[in-house]
Amino acid sequence: MGAEAKTTLTLGRQTYAGTALLETTELIFRGDTRLRIPLTAISDLAVKNGALHVTHAEGVAILGLGDVMASKWADKIRNPRTLADKLGITQGMTVALLDVDDAGILADLEARSAVVTVGKVPKGTAMVLWRITRPTQLSKLTAMVKSIARDGAIWVIHPRGDASVADTVIFTAAKAAGLTYTKVVRVSETDTAEKLVIPVASR
């Protein structure tokens, strides 16, 4: 989710100053004390007197975010964006899968009634989801650009922490293929995806 705010955290009778972060799977507080609450451990949310009251497995944490921000954070926690939302998968979109077998992605594609092709990129494909593990695979980008829709996208999914396929390696290959980088998305505990598109001036 990526939301961040300078705020206070109240636990019982103690109040601490610091920074709260609302991430994809957890709520974090760093400052005079530290707290990490998995979103799955939250049993109740309430916005009261300008604060977000978070009931979780270990008690109640109160974040002084202000009414507007507290309401926004509560809504994000109650209604988290799906991976399909983050990737921009729309209803009925044409999607090519290359070396992708992530259950979450497959479920999201099915929920959006995507028209899926596995193992190749048909002409005019709106989105490519492509997982790589070796830098040599990136040589295929040039040919792939010729198959995607002019306003389409190639998401290059790669394991985090592997320098051989780090984002900078992907960006260099993308530039050579006439693509530009626009967005990054956390796909899973192990993988990240970089969004590559044809620059508007070249479409």
What is the residue-level pLDDT of the chain in tens, covering all 203 positions? Answer: 568 999 999 999 999 999 999 987 899 999 999 999 999 999 999 999 999 999 999 999 999 999 999 999 999 999 888 888 889 999 999 999 999 988 878 888 988 999 999 999 999 999 999 999 999 999 999 999 999 999 999 999 999 999 999 999 999 999 999 999 999 998 888 999 999 999 998 88
For residue 106, the model assigns a pLDDT of: 87
Shortest CA distance to 197 belongs to which of 160, 158, 148? 148
Q: Kindly state the tokens that stand for 201.
A: 């001036």
For residue 83, the model assigns a pLDDT of: 85
User: CA angle at residue 168 from 167 to 170, to 5 degrees?
Assistant: 65
CB 158 within 8 A of CB 196: no
Beta bridge partners of 72: none
Beta bridge partners of 18: 7, 31
State how far the Cα of 162 lies from the Cα of 142, in Å rounded to an integer: 23
Beta bridge partners of 48: 51
Question: How many other β-carbons are positioned within 10 Å of the β-carbon of residue 113?
Answer: 11
In sequence order, what E strands does the chain have?
Answer: 3-11, 14-22, 26-31, 34-38, 42-48, 51-56, 59-63, 94-98, 115-118, 125-131, 148-159, 180-186, 191-197
